[in-house]
Amino acid sequence: MSAIPKTPSFRLDGRRALVTGAGRGIGAAMAAALAEAGAHVTLCARTEAEIEQGATALRAAGHAADWLALDVTDIAGFAEAVTAEEPYGIFVNNAGTNRPKPFTDVPIEDFDHVMGLNVRAAFFAAQAVTRRMIGAGVKGSIINISSQMGHVGGANRSLYCASKWAMEGFSKAMAIELAPHGIRVNTLCPTFIETPLTKPFFENAAFKASVVAKIKLGRLGAVEDLMGAVVFLASDASALMTGSSLVVDGGWTAE
């Protein structure tokens, strides 16, 4: 009888992970997931109190964690900080924002703010981490946090869609260029997730109903819904996956 194939490990022991926007919500949950899988996780955000608290909680649970208080929109400062650190093998490029408005009402300052964080800062943050990886000969996984809105359109989301479709594009190009270095690049694309940031929007019953109507599984996403997905993308379980999108949307984009 031939040997039974062995499932590649979802464990991340001995790997270093960096998560931006890790102060709360999705970022904090993904940092916890990577830490639980054995990675040493660095939480990164502007607000030091939040990431210090998060890292301390992870340590108290027996995991390896520290923090870097950085603003990803400070391109040079972020690159300098990453260059000074030991190289990371996992990068969760999560810092992002949204300012929903009708297309005809989007002001230039909103465009510059959203594109500045979701595209410009995300692009150069990935570049800084990748340069450090290549310089040290580290193979690994870049996970750009996109959205279902990087695959479809949505009312009042022309600007957000522009930013996430851009991320989908540069992620595919990154994957092609970085494959020879053993660096995989994928996007993780959630539907609407209930977090401290989004909770106020869902207090509008009509808006919540319109969202849930499009999610075929009939509920909003929770941060826990993304934790297994990020571990999968970071681990050897997804070793042949690059240039792809993992869409966690409850069926939104299936229609």
Which two tokens mark 46? 């502007």
Q: How far is CA 121 from the centre of its chain?
A: 13
The phi, psi pair for 64, rounded to 5°, reads -100, 120
Which two tokens mark 85? 């650190």
Which two tokens mark 63? 């995991």
Amino acid at 31: A
| Residues facing 187 on adjacent strands | 144, 245
Cα 190–Cα 184–Cα 59 angle in degrees, nearest 5: 70
CB 70 within 8 A of CB 78: yes
Residues with catalytic function: 160
Q: DSSP letter string over 144-194?
A: EE--GGGTS--TT-HHHHHHHHHHHHHHHHHHHHHGGGTEEEEEEEE--B-
